[in-house]
A and B are shown apart, each in its own frame.
Chain A
């Protein structure tokens, strides 16, 4: 990839990739499994996820100018890697759909109840398509703004909910036992897989690769912190029993936020601050999808592939969210399980093979680097 981005933008990508879906919908899914322990369960899952993010960064640092698709060809051979590429296209398509639908739920349930879902989805898809066609550089630039906005969003939310904060709602920790918590951690992989597999493709855009591992590490730690704030506040403020009730938990929290008596409602402020982040998430997923697809089907002009693909994915998005409850159920089963298998299995496979074929690859990758598109 030719485009390069600075460390700061790379840093901000992590938070944005995790944030959008995790704070509301995943939190709700986890709460329905483990109650008030949602935040600990998510925290544990995220810490496990960081291991795989590091693994991905490690693989990336071995092939600094290659994307996951490129080096998987070196490691696994053409046909096996093509098989995985097809899986990844499907994964990224679904990832885009879940991410976009997170926004659809927010908009449809809280802001525009009477607007047809398809209109919202198409408008959003058009925006995302515009973003991806401008290139990953633009997305990373939006990502930086989004990063600033979600930090602001977190601060405002903390201030808005502090008066309703009840530590009692968070206790007792590990109410249903640690094992249950660990099991519920699988739900978080619906989000973590975005970062793990997305990182494989966006890693080469980082312009200075020295200390890339530690940047990745701190970025994921920071992202974890920013995201975990949410289930933490949500549980403390709403209580697990209320959280269970709603499909988009974060909006329910925001419904109760009253920023002084002059701003009786803050949904709109929140949506405005938050959309940027979810946009980064979904447009990166679409970007990765198109990128992977390009590897499978060769086309002369990029838009010949990306435009129909976007329309198809928008339709998938629509089909997925027609029934809101089915969609949220889908995010509890089978989506996170499938995502977890792919996002844990694929990097591990690549890693193991890279260890076995260490010597051979070393020389190969040097010669192949020239051919990178």
Chain B
């Protein structure tokens, strides 16, 4: 008896709901899939400029390979970021969909002004992925988004793939939206974002007359922020040091000079770089010790040596440690003394280790205290093997 009524009730109920329609249904072919977005702020007109790279689905028809560009790049202006984004809809025939966005490029002018609207837009909206890469570019983001770069069908894919191989040269960090958001929200850590350059690298073979090649997007260096504003860029070497301490870089391939005068280099591949930070009270100020340890292997050696393997390894270990320490110290020098931005979460460390002092003394004027904190760096490198070689390359009989 119950079941009989139950069915009719639920059928009526469901019909009531269903007859009104499907609210969120949207065909994949009605959408413009944004692959990359660049955000600028034009200095003179004080307007936001949003540039989007939208993928055009390639026709399946094999007999008629379309000669069209695979992407459609568009740009719109607005007084606020949201207005600019909404203005794209004025001329886009399809609804702009952000879910497949791979990379967010922030123009230099925008970054130096205020990144709050960007952070808000890309975290407030559930459609957007939190693992979208974020980078600050040198110059205008618009150029980066409209450049045809890399080997992939969609330039944005090429650019975003750079972030998967950044550790090879370890001259940049990898920032995704969730990491940026976490640092942005945190009181004790400042954001440190990867940086992009445009460099004329690709050589066009057909038109040999051209002096310079086509521009390519290069991932190199980092951008230091203090709260909402970017302060400046760091060099690739500084970025490597900072990336290691921020635990963003955990492996790297370095060229290590064993002898500076004769320009003899070995390439060292470092794995599992581990960082341990600790703080001690020294009088009134805390001091911070950063211990970096890593293991690695020698992968290239462009000269002959008569050293034994052990001695050679020792020499390389020392030199590598020296370079790493140098990089890290350079980086710390830049962010601590030059930019005065706590990207290395030193404040958090002090908070954890000396909670009472933090609340009573440091928290209120941390920005003044931070540049004066002594930071020491210890690096230990362990070379485990020399790739496939049993003895170092030598030309002795």
Is this pair of chains taken from one and the same complex? yes
User: Which one of A123, A129, A175 contacts B17 once the chains associate, using CB atoms below 8 Å?
Assistant: A123
A245 in contact with B185 (CB, 8 Å) = yes
Shortest Cβ gap from A141 to chain B (Å): 18
Q: A182 at the A/B interface (Cβ < 8 Å)?
A: no
B126 in contact with A119 (CB, 8 Å) = no
Q: B20 at the A/B interface (Cβ < 8 Å)?
A: yes
Say which one of A20-28, A144-152, A164-172 lies at the interface with B: A164-172
A: interface residue count bin: 35 or more
Q: Which residues of chain B come closer than 8 Å to A241, judged between CB atoms?
A: 182, 185-187
Instruction: State in angstroms the CA–CA spacing of A252 and B178 once bound together.
Output: 10
Q: Which residues of chain A come closer than 8 Å to B16, judged between CB atoms?
A: 122
Q: Which residues of chain B come closer than 8 Å to A265, judged between CB atoms?
A: 99, 129
B216-244 near A? 1/0 per residue, CB < 8 Å: 00000000000000000000000000000
Q: Which residue of B lies closest to A267 (CB)?
A: B126
Q: Which residues of chain B come closer than 8 Å to A307, judged between CB atoms?
A: 5, 9
Q: Which residues of chain A come closer than 8 Å to B178, judged between CB atoms?
A: 164, 238, 242, 255-256
Q: A2 at the A/B interface (Cβ < 8 Å)?
A: no
A238-278 near B? 1/0 per residue, CB < 8 Å: 11011011000001100110100000110000000000000
A113 in contact with B182 (CB, 8 Å) = no
Q: B130 at the A/B interface (Cβ < 8 Å)?
A: yes
Q: B352 at the A/B interface (Cβ < 8 Å)?
A: yes
B352 in contact with A112 (CB, 8 Å) = no
Q: Which residues of chain A come closer than 8 Å to B10, judged between CB atoms?
A: 126, 129-130
Known interface pairs A239-B182, A265-B129, A307-B9; A122-B187 also in contact (CB < 8 Å): no
Known interface pairs A113-B126, A301-B2; A172-B355 also in contact (CB < 8 Å): yes
Q: B24 at the A/B interface (Cβ < 8 Å)?
A: yes
Shortest Cβ gap from A171 to chain B (Å): 4
User: Which one of A126, A168, A258 contacts B348 once the chains associate, using CB atoms below 8 Å?
Assistant: A168
Q: Which residues of chain B come closer than 8 Å to A252, judged between CB atoms?
A: 130
Instruction: State in angstroms the CA–CA spacing of A267 and B126 once bound together.
Output: 10
Q: Which residue of B lies closest to A252 (CB)?
A: B130
B24 in contact with A114 (CB, 8 Å) = yes
Q: Which residues of chain B come closer than 8 Å to A133, judged between CB atoms?
A: 2-3, 6
Q: Which residues of chain B come closer than 8 Å to A122, judged between CB atoms?
A: 13, 16-17
Q: Which residues of chain A come closer than 8 Å to B129, judged between CB atoms?
A: 255, 258, 264-265
B326-350 near A? 1/0 per residue, CB < 8 Å: 0000000000000000000100110
Q: B91 at the A/B interface (Cβ < 8 Å)?
A: no
A113-153 near B? 1/0 per residue, CB < 8 Å: 11110010011001001100100000000000000000000
Instruction: State in angstroms the CA–CA spacing of A258 and B176 once bound together.
Output: 12
B131 in contact with A258 (CB, 8 Å) = yes
A303 in contact with B131 (CB, 8 Å) = no
A323-338 near B? 1/0 per residue, CB < 8 Å: 0000000000000000
Q: Which residue of A lies closest to B181 (CB)?
A: A242
Q: B389 at the A/B interface (Cβ < 8 Å)?
A: no
Q: Which residues of chain B come closer than 8 Å to A238, judged between CB atoms?
A: 178, 182
For chain A, what secondary structure do more than half of its interface residues adopt (helix, strand, loop), or is it mixed?
helix
B131 in contact with A256 (CB, 8 Å) = yes
User: Which one of B9, B131, B186 contacts A239 once the chains associate, using CB atoms below 8 Å?
Assistant: B186
Q: A322 at the A/B interface (Cβ < 8 Å)?
A: no
Q: Which residues of chain A come closer than 8 Å to B355, judged between CB atoms?
A: 172, 175
Instruction: State in angstroms the CA–CA spacing of A302 and B2 once bound together.
Output: 8
Q: Which residues of chain A come closer than 8 Å to B24, judged between CB atoms?
A: 111-115
B23 in contact with A168 (CB, 8 Å) = no
Q: A109 at the A/B interface (Cβ < 8 Å)?
A: yes
Q: Which of A298-352 contact B (CB under 8 A)?
A: 301-303, 307
Q: A291 at the A/B interface (Cβ < 8 Å)?
A: no
Q: B56 at the A/B interface (Cβ < 8 Å)?
A: no
Q: B151 at the A/B interface (Cβ < 8 Å)?
A: no
A303 in contact with B2 (CB, 8 Å) = yes
Q: Which residue of A lies closest to B178 (CB)?
A: A256
A255 in contact with B17 (CB, 8 Å) = no
B79-104 near A? 1/0 per residue, CB < 8 Å: 00000000000000000000110000
Q: Which residues of chain B come closer than 8 Å to A172, judged between CB atoms?
A: 351-352, 355
A119 in contact with B17 (CB, 8 Å) = yes
Known interface pairs A112-B24, A122-B13, A123-B17; A303-B182 also in contact (CB < 8 Å): no
> Which of A123, A129, A241, A244: most chain B CB closer than 10 A?
A241
- Supplied contacts A130-B10, A164-B179, 4 more A-B pairs, CB within 8 Å: A112-B23, A114-B24, A256-B178, A307-B9
**Interface CB pairs A-B, < 8 A, 30:** A110-B126, A111-B24, A113-B24, A114-B23, A116-B23, A119-B17, A119-B20, A119-B23, A126-B13, A126-B14, A130-B10, A133-B3, A168-B345, A172-B352, A172-B355, A238-B178, A239-B182, A239-B186, A241-B186, A242-B178, A244-B185, A252-B130, A255-B126, A256-B178, A264-B100, A265-B99, A301-B1, A301-B2, A302-B2, A303-B2
